């Protein structure tokens, strides 16, 4: 792993360590720090749109040449946003000649969904002082 890559949701040496769901157990400090890096990458509207465009593309991948025209931003700025999404482990890329093709990392999007999903059939925790 390069020094620029982020450790993502407990991945160590390519082995993912799953975080508990937010609604099932509190995150420890390390888990919260790792998860915050991913949410920080998603905290920008351009990056969120880029991930959406990549993830929803028929065939599972999209050329950077198809992403750039959708934004009123320079190509280097789009490349920077894509780099941050890649460092967060949300997308992967492959260079083919002049162009770079991007695809989502399903394990990461599934892991994020799992962190944010309440186990089936379990009620939400009641807040203190809530009416019964």
Question: What's residue 19's pLDDT?
Answer: 54
The pTM is what? Answer: 0.72
Q: What range does the domain containing 83 cover?
A: 29-114
Closest residue by Cα to residue 35 from 26, 24, 45: 26
Asked if residue 89 is part of any domain, the answer here is: yes
Q: State pLDDT tens for residues 2-42.
A: 333 333 444 444 434 455 566 667 888 988 888 899 999 99
Where residue 122 falls among pLDDT bands split at 50, 70, 90? low
Q: Determine, yes or no, domain membership for 101.
A: yes
Taking the alpha carbons of 74, 78, 83, 84 in that order, is the dihedral positive or negative? positive
Q: Is residue 38 part of a domain?
A: yes
CATH at residue 51:
1.10.10.10
The tally of domains found in the chain comes to 1
């Amino acid at each position: 792993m390069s020094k620029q890559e982020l450790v993502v949701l407990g991945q160590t040496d390519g082995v993912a360590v799953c975080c508990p769901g937010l609604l099932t157990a509190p995150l420890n400090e390390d888990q919260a720090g790792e998860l915050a890096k991913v949410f920080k990458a998603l905290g920008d509207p351009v990056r969120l749109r880029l991930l959406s465009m990549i993830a929803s593309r028929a065939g599972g991948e999209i050329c950077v040449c198809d992403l750039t025209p959708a934004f009123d931003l320079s190509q280097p700025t789009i490349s920077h946003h894509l780099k941050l999404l890649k460092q967060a482990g949300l997308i992967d890329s492959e260079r083919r000649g002049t162009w770079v093709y991007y695809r989502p990392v399903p394990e990461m999007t599934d892991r994020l969904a799992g962190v944010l999903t309440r186990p089936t059939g379990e009620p939400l925790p009641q807040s203190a002082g809530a009416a019964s």
